[in-house]
Copies of this chain bind each other. A is one copy, B any other.
Amino acid sequence: MEYPERFFDDWHVGDRFVSGEATLSREECLDFARRYDPQQFHLDDAAAAASIFRALAASGWLTAALTMRLIVESGVMRGTGVIGAGVDELRWLAPVYPGDTLHVESEVVDLVPNPEGKRFGRMRVRNVTINQHGVAVMSQIANLTVSKRAR
């Protein structure tokens, strides 16, 4: 699906969108962990088996990064006018393992046009990252700064 460029004025609370899918390889999980989250349960099968994860698990920050890619690739926030200001209530709900296929389901939960007259409004979007079994593995509320349509 090709999304048109959307401005703050074009969004409504309750708007929903769904990303495509991506499958995490074992090599990507290990590579990310070596670079950014070098804890033994993300790097070593035996240590992972003894951990709460019971098997080699992806770094939660890899799940977050992959979620970002899926949202960007969906094209729903196409254009230069969407900037992430922050995230609330990021939760890692279930482990993500090599071979898992993830997608993201999103819903606009709040729109704050203030301050009036400014070029940007604030949009809050709940993103839920879901695996191939339909299990939510991560949720977050993204706070986005979105350009208003030029008048």
Interface residues of A (CB under 8 A from B): 32, 35-41, 47, 50-52, 59-61, 64-66, 68-69, 72-73, 80, 83-92
Q: Which chain B residues lie closer than 8 Å to A91 at the CB level? A: 85-86
Given A51-B80, A92-B84, A92-B85: A68 in contact with B73 (beta carbons within 8 A): no
- What is the count of identical protomers in the complex? 2
Instruction: Give 10 closest A-B pairs by Cβ, nearest first.
Output: A36-B65, A86-B91, A87-B90, A36-B69, A61-B65, A37-B68, A86-B90, A61-B68, A60-B84, A51-B80
Chain A interface secondary structure, helix, strand, loop or mixed?
mixed
Complexed CA–CA distance, A33 and B90 (Å) = 21
Q: Which chain B residues lie closer than 8 Å to A84 at the CB level? A: 60, 92
Q: Which chain B residues lie closer than 8 Å to A40 at the CB level? A: 80
Given A87-B87, A90-B88, A92-B86: A72 in contact with B39 (beta carbons within 8 A): yes
